[in-house]
Structure 1
């Protein structure tokens, strides 16, 4: 693995790269460009590159009225998994949580993502289905 370059979404290129990774990893919850743009005002959205090659993206959501936890989501495209990119991106995101309670949300069909979270000490809190979806999400909390 070469050095992973992590860049905050700041222009159309990084916004479209973030959207591409998100929509490939979470096909049941596709986001439009406008929805991604709106999220940049509420969350920290970043993209990860191996050199110039897009390998993943991440989301860090601050605590909200619904939860006191910081939500950390690291997504790595399937072709780039098991190369250390997920670990690097996850650790980067975890630093932004600043010692808060940390949770993550993973599409249940993303077996690699669930396995990665469990390996890093996350335990399932709840499984939920969004309206109109057929594949549930797994909410996990770092224990």
Structure 2
């Protein structure tokens, strides 16, 4: 996990619209590749960016990292049609 950098994509006017749009498009691409059963539209990504700091599918090492940085589990579930366990985290 060395070198991992996490940044908030703020939908608060602090970023130029072209930069914000580019960051949200990148986030959407990664999300949709990782979670195809729950693919998001550009509008859904923009709405979520205003509500959530981070959405993570994590392995054991990733969970330890998240817990060490103040995150707690808020939900565990399997997506319809999937078999992988997903864990939602929130900043405590």
TM range (shorter): 0.5 to 0.7
Q: Does 1:109 align with 2:91?
A: no
1:19–1:33 CA contact under 8 A, matched in 2: yes
Q: Does 1:28 align with 2:3?
A: no
Instruction: Please give the TM-score of this superposition, normalised by the length of structure 2.
Output: 0.57
Normalized per residue, the structure richer in helix is 2
1:19–1:31 CA contact under 8 A, matched in 2: yes
Aligned to 1:95: 70
Unaligned ranges ≥5, structure 2 = 11-19
Give distance in 2, aligned partners of 1:33 and 1:6: 21
Within-5 A mapping of 1:1-143 = 1-10=1-10, 11-44=20-53, 58-59=54-55, 74-75=56-57, 84=61, 86-87=62-63, 88=65, 90-91=66-67, 95-97=70-72, 102-107=74-79, 108-110=82-84, 114=85
Unaligned ranges ≥5, structure 1 = 45-57, 60-73, 118-138
How many residues get paired?
A: 76
| 1:41-77 Cα distance to aligned partner (Å, 9 max, x none) | 2222xxxxxxxxxxxxx32xxxxxxxxxxxxxx136x
Instruction: Please give the TM-score of this superposition, normalised by the length of structure 1.
Output: 0.40
**How well do the aligned residues superpose, as a CA RMSD in angstroms?**
3.2
Normalized per residue, the structure richer in strand is 1
| 1:57-105 Cα distance to aligned partner (Å, 9 max, x none) | x32xxxxxxxxxxxxxx136xxxx78x5x243x336x7255xxx72233
Q: Specify which structure has the bigger relative contact order, considering alpha-carbon pairs within 8 angstroms and separated by 6 or more residues.
A: 2
Change (3 A) 1:75 1:21: farther
